[in-house]
Amino acid sequence: MSTLQLPGALHAREFYIDGAWVTPLSSATLDVVDPSTEAVIAQVAMGSEQDAVRAIEAAKKAFASWSQSSPEARLDVLQRILDVYQRRADDIATTLSAEMGAPLEMALNNQTGSGAAHLETMIETLSDYRFSHLQGTTHVVREAIGVVGMITPWNWPLNQIICKVAPALAAGCTMVLKPSEVAPLNALLFAEVMDEAGVPAGVFNLVNGDGPTVGECLASHPGVDMISITGSTRAGVLVAKAAADTVKRVHQELGGKSANIILDDADLASAVHQGVLECFDNSGQSCNAPTRMLVPMAHLQDAIGYARAAAESLSVGPAQSPGVNLGPVVNRSQFQRIQDLIAKGIDEGAQLVCGGLGRPDGLEQGYFIRPTVFACDSNDMTIVREEIFGPVLTLQGYDSEEQAIELCNDTPYGLAAYVQCGDLERGRKIARRLRVGNVYLNYPEWDTRAPFGGFKQSGNGREYGEYGLDDFLEIKGVVGYGAD
């Protein structure tokens, strides 16, 4: 696919600041690579600190009026954004598939579709959200926190962009977005959507760049009132440190290493099969993927067979090819990191059930990983402890329900956990004991109203629906407001 054919490349050498496409102050560029082919498909401008400051100043100027706009006016803007976004869905999906490797159907229905779902949910949420109430004689008001810096990842780009942008808009905040430089073109398309929808100048701004330059500026600048990051735990720590001197709100959605407890009353074959598919979705590049499968020790060998069959049923190939379940991982560095971790698993004595090192047969180019399953006898193995971010599943046996809960909680992360059960009340009781932000019982449908976020080193704050909106608001008490 050439640069000229790719919809997201139109403004690749520009930034969106103060309601206009502008020429960067920096001359630096970065290649955007199609992970299916390893071909360069575009070059994007890479911003400097001065570019970021220009965007922050535009957002700060726009805040005075946007923060005072009515919820009805903000609803109208959100609806216009949704309308344009839905019209541009095919362009967005084509661009996403090319730059981050999602199979084309998945890029449209899931990657692009998730953004539309967040917009729809925020429109519903804002329609009946209470921004104030009287508590005795005190008027308690929720007001926009201010200018928000947003740092978003490459694995679910528009899901994470829109689950920040939509509630920030609904709250009355203005913002500067720094999307991932690994997959930046979809964000440029989203800026085109915002422009066409008539979002007021300065309310939404976009500057491409890397973390140490643009990201650092957003985190440390005194003109930014809140920084919201989705990324690795390492990146989240760096952002929090940079933000500390200005005492801004730090909102983090970070790494995960989520366990999937399959109880002895669940349908083992079905639970294992679905668990493998859930783990390998998006080529395993999801922070809340169920990457650690825990099964009763008595059924471990059966589970190994079911997991092997599920993994080997998946079709791996170029993202634009029909019938592909798993595309490539996003880039060379991710490919090599996953290869190194697979090698580490083998070296540490884990049983390689299927997959392993190297590309799948017939794929000599592109960042393709063999769907890999390990059986592990220790919770201390590197592949059990570290977030791999690829299609790699570990299987462990447990002797009791109590041990399963201990294994699930024995991790520095706390983003999600999964429980498969026949007796739903049993699953509910276990859910209360798991130190995670989300528990998914029996592989439920995705819920854009459920609070999303983590415990421990998976971050703080919540996204989605009213919980996401809450986090972009500050609370003010007007004491004596109701006195006669």
Residues assigned a catalytic role: 253, 287
Give the Cα separation of 459 and 438 in Å (integer).
Answer: 13
Please measure the distance between the N-terminal and C-terminal CA atoms of the chain and give it in whole angstroms.
Answer: 70
Kind of pairing, strands 392-398 and 259-262?
unpaired
Distance CA 102, CA 111 (A): 8
Residue type, 204: F
Q: Which residue has the tokens 């074959």?
A: 269
| Tokens matching residue 460 | 């703080």
Show the tokens assigned to 284: 């395993």
N residues, the chain: 484
Cβ atoms within 10 Å of 313's Cβ, excluding its own: 12
3-state secondary structure of 30: strand
Strand intervals (E) in 121-220: 132-135, 138-144, 147-151, 174-178, 204-206
Nearest to 451 by CA among 440, 460, 462: 462
Question: Angle at Cα 286 formed by Cα 285 and Cα 291, nearest 5°?
Answer: 90
DSSP state of 381: S
Is residue 410 a contact partner of residue 398, using CB atoms and an 8 Å limit?
Answer: no
Nearest to 87 by CA among 198, 189, 2: 189
* Contacts of 410 by beta carbon, 8 Å cutoff, 6+ apart: 379
Distance CA 321, CA 157 (A): 21
What is the CA 458 to chain-centroid distance, rounded?
A: 12
Of 426, 428, 384, 441, which Cα lies nearest the Cα of 408?
Answer: 384
| Whole-Å CA distances, 91 to 82, 87, 204 | 15, 9, 21
**Cα–Cα distance for residue pair 320/121, rounded to 1 Å:** 30
Our CA angle for 18, 24, 26, nearest 5°, is 140
Q: Give residues with Cβ within 8 angstroms of 84, minimum separation 6.
A: 193, 196, 197
Block residue for tokens 């004596």:
480
Looking only at the bridges linking them, the beta strands covering 249-253 and 459-460 are antiparallel
